[in-house]
Structure 1
Amino acid sequence: MSRTTLSTGLALTLVSAIALTGCGSGGGEEVAADAKQTLTVWAMGEEGARLKPVAAEFTKEHPNIKVKITPVGWDVVHQKLVSSLAGKKLPDMAQMGSTMMGEFIALDALEPVDTKAFKRSDFFPATWDSNVRDGTAYGVPWYADVRALYYRTDLAKKAGVTKAPTTWADQQALATAYKKHGAEYGTQLQPGATGAWQGWLQYLYSTGGELLGKDGKPALDSPQAVKAFKAWGSYFDKGLAKKNFTPGEDAAKDFSNGKRPMFQSGPWMVQNINDQHPELKGKWAVAPVPGDKSSTSWVGGSSLVTFKDSAHKAAAEEFTKYLATPKVQAHWYEVDKTLPAAKAAWDQPAMKNGDSSLPVFEKALGSAEAVPPVEKWNEFAVQIESALEKIARGADASATAKQLQKSAAGLVG
Structure 2
Amino acid sequence: MRRRRFLLQTTGLSGAGALAMSGCGSDGDSGGDATTLDVLLAGYDGTVGTSIEKRWNAAVRAFQKKHPAIRVKVERVPFLKLDATLARRVKDGRAPDISEGNFFAPYAEEGRLYSADQLFAVPVQANFIGSFADAGKIDTIQYGIPTQASAPRLFYNTALFQQAGLTRAPASWAELRSCAQALRRIGVATPYALTFGPEAAEDELLAWLLAGDGGYASLSGYDFAATENVATLTWLRDKLVVPGLAGADPARLTRTQAYAQFLQGRAGMLLAHPVLLSAAGRAGVKYATAPFPKRDGDGAAPPVGLNDWLMAFKANGRLSAAKTFLTFLFTSPAARTYGSDTGTLPATVSDSEELEEDSAQRALWPFVHQLPDAEFHPVGLRSWSTVRGAVRRGIGRAVAPGGSPSDVLQALDRVGAGA
Normalising to structure 2: TM-score of the pair? 0.82
Letter in 2 for 1:404: L
Contact 1:252–1:273 under 8 Å retained in 2: no
Give deviations 1:178-202, integer Å, cap 9, x for gaps: 1122212211112332422221111
**Quick one: which of 113, 116, 121 aligns to 1:110?**
113
| Counterpart-to-counterpart distance in 1, 2:167 and 2:117 | 49
**Equivalent position SS for 2:80:** coil
- 1:316 is displaced (CA, Å) by 0.8
- 1:221 is displaced (CA, Å) by 1.0
| Counterpart-to-counterpart distance in 1, 2:91 and 2:399 | 40
**Quick one: which of 129, 135, 139 aligns to 1:124?**
129
**Equivalent position SS for 1:295:** coil
Give deviations 1:205-233, integer Å, cap 9, x for gaps: 22332322112x21101122223323433
| Counterpart-to-counterpart distance in 2, 1:213 and 1:271 | 37
**Quick one: which of 310, 323, 327 aligns to 2:333?**
327
Residue 295 (structure 1) aligns with: 301
Give deviations 1:50-98, integer Å, cap 9, x for gaps: 412211111222222222222122122222212211222122111223x
**Structure 1: where are the runs of 5+ without partners?**
5-29
**Quick one: which of 186, 192, 209 aligns to 2:197?**
192
Residue 83 (structure 1) aligns with: 88
Residue 69 (structure 1) aligns with: 74
Letter in 1 for 2:212: T
Say what the alpha-carbon RMSD is for the aligned residues. 2.8
**Quick one: which of 141, 144, 151 aligns to 1:146?**
151
**Quick one: which of 349, 353, 364 aligns to 1:358?**
364
- 1:156 is displaced (CA, Å) by 1.0
**Equivalent position SS for 1:332:** coil
Give deviations 1:111-142, integer Å, cap 9, x for gaps: 11117625664222332222111111112222
Residue 403 (structure 1) aligns with: 411
**Equivalent position SS for 1:336:** coil
| Counterpart-to-counterpart distance in 2, 1:378 and 1:194 | 13
Give deviations 1:150-196, integer Å, cap 9, x for gaps: 10112112222212223222222211211122212211112332422
1:256/1:80 CA distance change after superposition, 3 Å: closer
1:36/1:400 CA distance change after superposition, 3 Å: closer
**Equivalent position SS for 2:187:** coil
| Counterpart-to-counterpart distance in 2, 1:191 and 1:50 | 31
Residue 175 (structure 2) aligns with: 170
| Counterpart-to-counterpart distance in 1, 2:94 and 2:233 | 43
**Equivalent position SS for 2:74:** strand
1:274 aligns with 2:293: no
How many residue pairs are counted as aligned between the two chains? 379
Normalising to structure 1: TM-score of the pair? 0.83
1:384/1:345 CA distance change after superposition, 3 Å: same
1:53/1:74 CA distance change after superposition, 3 Å: same
| Counterpart-to-counterpart distance in 2, 1:210 and 1:191 | 16
- 1:246 is displaced (CA, Å) by 5.5
| Counterpart-to-counterpart distance in 2, 1:360 and 1:329 | 23
1:96 aligns with 2:101: yes
Contact 1:32–1:314 under 8 Å retained in 2: no
Contact 2:190–2:245 under 8 Å retained in 1: yes
1:274/1:212 CA distance change after superposition, 3 Å: same
| Counterpart-to-counterpart distance in 2, 1:34 and 1:128 | 36
| Counterpart-to-counterpart distance in 2, 1:239 and 1:386 | 21
Letter in 2 for 1:363: H
| Counterpart-to-counterpart distance in 1, 2:38 and 2:353 | 31
**Structure 2: where are the runs of 5+ without partners?**
7-27, 45-51
1:177/1:356 CA distance change after superposition, 3 Å: farther
Contact 1:52–1:69 under 8 Å retained in 2: no
1:343-354 paired onto structure 2 within 5 Å: 343-348=349-354, 352-354=358-360
**Equivalent position SS for 1:94:** strand
Letter in 1 for 2:91: A
Q: Percent identity?
A: 22
| Counterpart-to-counterpart distance in 1, 2:178 and 2:86 | 46
Letter in 2 for 1:346: S
| Counterpart-to-counterpart distance in 2, 1:326 and 1:228 | 44
